[in-house]
Amino acid sequence: MKAYVFPGQGAQFSGMGKDLYDKSSVAREMFENANTLLGFRITEIMFAGTEEDLKQTRVTQPAIFLHSTILAAVMGESFNPDMVAGHSLGEFSSLVANKTLSFNDGLILVSKRAMAMQKACEKTPSTMAAIIGSEDSVIEEVCASIKDIVVPANYNCPGQIVISGTNEGIDKAIEILKEKGVKRAIKLAVGGAFHSPLMEPARLELEEAIKSTDFHKPVCPVYQNVDAQPSKDPEIIKSNLVAQLTSPVRWTQIVINMISGGASHFVEVGPGNVLQGLIKKVNREAVTESATF
């Protein structure tokens, strides 16, 4: 069985999607539609913008979403998933790919999500850090022991968790974890504490948008970030998508559950190959590849 997976924020690069635009009339039409919906020519930034241009919140998330969903569309009949999943932002791409959301509705939600997260980031100085070479339980215990907000945000693969919280909380967690002998603790260049309670204002804002959007019965299950379980129920999918902003991304468990559900082949749809690397660290026997058209 084939599992299609969709990357999240951080996979962007200058020039992303230009090959799709140049070679496919379907892609051109979808990109131009996106320019109209967003109210600015995101294609100009994607195709020729600098790394700094692409880091703008209003650009980054829609850009990755567009690259993934348009690539899936251009693949045509060869895109035939048995199951899908996306890492954080990538979950929205996966829901367009499996027909839960229309392309237009997905793009509008992603744009609103990006703006809501940016506003939440501006309320409290906060950040994230990658912790490498420690047991999950040790990181969880350290986070729970700190009075400032700091929580596990991404369970990426065995031995790699990203934590999220206030600047003070992250600094304290790194200090304690280094004392406990973690291999590496690296602060990430992000604007705030994604997938933490500090995203509550964004969650409330996005909840309203999600509630007013049509969600359809998908063509295949989506394994969602919040619980790592497969679902084809539009109401469950909606609820989990709302909860995603303040809950951890359970990517390790998603990969394990997809394999248990019959996945033998993983195809990464979108910029980069980060998810393929994480999947291999969860199960080195897994077959992975990048989507092509």
Indicate which residue of 67, 68, 87, 88 is catalytic. Answer: 88
The two beta strands, 287-290 and 83-86, are unpaired
**Which residue's entry shows tokens 């026997």?**
285
Q: Which of 54, 67, 65, 89 is nearest to 18 (CA)?
A: 67
Cα(79)–Cα(95) distance, integer angstroms: 14
Indicate which residue of 93, 111, 134, 195 is catalytic. Answer: 195
Q: Which of 2, 19, 11 is nearest to 71 (CA)?
A: 19
Cα(249)–Cα(87) distance, integer angstroms: 7
Runs of H (alpha helix) within the chain: 18-23, 25-38, 42-48, 51-54, 57-74, 90-97, 103-123, 136-145, 167-179, 200-211, 234-243, 251-260, 274-282
Neighbours of 47 (CB within 10 A): 17
Cα(154)–Cα(138) distance, integer angstroms: 15
- Whether residue 143 contacts residue 111, with contact meaning beta carbons closer than 8 Å, is answered with no
- Residue 25, C-beta contacts closer than 8 angstroms, at least 6 positions apart: none
Answer yes or no: 260 catalytic. no
Answer yes or no: 137 catalytic. no
Q: Which of 123, 59, 113 is nearest to 86 (CA)?
A: 113
Residues recognised as catalytic: 88, 195
